[in-house]
Amino acid sequence: MAKPVLIVTRRLPPTVERRIEKNYRALLNPDDVQFGSESLLRVASSADGILCTTTERIDRTLIDRLPNRLRIIATFSVGYDHIEVAAAQRRGITVTNTPDVLTEATADVALLCLLGASRRAYEGNRLVRERTWGRWSAVDFLGVGLQGKTLGILGLGRIGRATARRAVACGLSVIYHNRTPVAEASTIPAEYVARLDAFLARAQFLSLHVPATPATRHFLNAANLAKLPKGAIVVNTARGALVNDEALIAALKSGQVAAVGLDVYEGEPAVNPGYLELANTFLLPHLGSATIETRDAMGHRAVDNIDAFFAGRTPGDIVAA
């Protein structure tokens, strides 16, 4: 029986690619070039499945032009907002993701962003690297301590809970806002705040952990930023589209927000230049899942789903079929 043809849109960890090459007729991307819609369609003409990443936009127009033989799109990510799932459902194409395996790594980066922003890490790092650090001072580069402060977590899912556990260990009290209370919150502990206005008003630190949807796009706008305590610190390791960049930059300039730690950006890899002009921004290039162990686990989880599908089983991480 012929092996299924699998397109792998980006270069993946070596252990994952070796597994794919063993079990599939693999169309790998050793040069790690970025696929556009037309180039992806060209290679997909003889494919049975696609293993993609968040850097490919697989929208309705592309999905409608995919060959009938292509029956699965597995994304190397938890989020799948880069895939138009409803269009895949209409075509009978299964879509899978890779939950669970990047929870701890992403929560580590959320804490890194929180600490980097609150302790003015960018300013201090720049001072040392530019050799402009003159002398120690008792009143220079004063940051914001965590102990006794309140962290508000928007979205207490797996990554939100992992971030909350780290925050409690650092001396923060945790509140959260969700559509409904989360049973596991009592083990952290974290207090559920049902009203968004009340939640924002108490969040001296705010960490975003919700998916990007039409309802959450630009959640952090001027109106919601104004509801935060003056001098709040904001962290986003979820999706760039959650933030209205111009509103957040204005809040950073006015002091309504004291500092921000960002690992994701709307339109990345482009970054709003306004962030780059400010000293109170701690910026990372989407490192949330970037550990050797996590990227290996993500790749193998994606291949697990593909293996199950071609073996006639239901993939464990199915989001559309």
Q: How far apart are CA 251 and CA 254, in angstroms?
A: 5
Let me know whether 298 and 190 are in one domain.
no
Q: How far apart are CA 157 and CA 286, in angstroms?
A: 19
Let me know whether 129 and 245 are in one domain.
yes
Let me know whether 110 and 133 are in one domain.
yes
236-273: b or e for each residue (b if 16 or more CB lie within 10 Å)? bbbbbbbbbbebbbebbeeebbbbbbbbbbbeeeebbe
Let me know whether 88 and 119 are in one domain.
no
Let me know whether 97 and 108 are in one domain.
no
What rounded mean pLDDT belongs to the chain? 96
Domain of 259? 103-283
- Is the separation of the CB atoms in 203 and 228 below 8 Å? yes
Q: How far apart are CA 270 and CA 121, in angstroms?
A: 22
CATH number (domain holding residue 129) = 3.40.50.720
How many percent of the chain have pLDDT more than 70? 99
Give the CA count within 13 Å in the CB-facing half-sphere of 211: 12
Q: How far apart are CA 142 and CA 139, in angstroms?
A: 6
Residues 112-143 pLDDT 10s: 999 999 999 999 999 999 999 988 899 999 99
Let me know whether 85 and 158 are in one domain.
no
Let me know whether 124 and 212 are in one domain.
yes
* β partners of residue 261: 235, 282
Let me know whether 107 and 187 are in one domain.
yes
Q: Write down the pLDDT at residue 113.
A: 98
How far is Cα of residue 224 from the mean position of the Cα atoms in its chain?
21
Residues 163-214 pLDDT 10s: 999 999 999 999 999 999 999 999 999 999 999 999 999 999 999 999 999 9
Let me know whether 90 and 198 are in one domain.
no
Q: Kindly list the catalytic residues.
A: 239, 268, 286
Query: Structurally, how many domains does the chain consist of?
Result: 2
Residues 150-163 pLDDT 10s: 999 999 999 999 99
Q: How far apart are CA 278 and CA 126, in angstroms?
A: 12
Average pLDDT for 225-241 = 97
Nearest to 177 by CA among 149, 206, 204: 206
Let me know whether 183 and 43 are in one domain.
no
Let me know whether 250 and 107 are in one domain.
yes
Q: How far apart are CA 226 and CA 234, in angstroms?
A: 13
Let me know whether 248 and 272 are in one domain.
yes
SS3 call for 176? strand
Q: Write down the pLDDT at residue 171.
A: 97
Residue 321 has pLDDT above 70, yes or no: no
- The residue type at 314: T
- Is the separation of the CB atoms in 169 and 107 below 8 Å? no
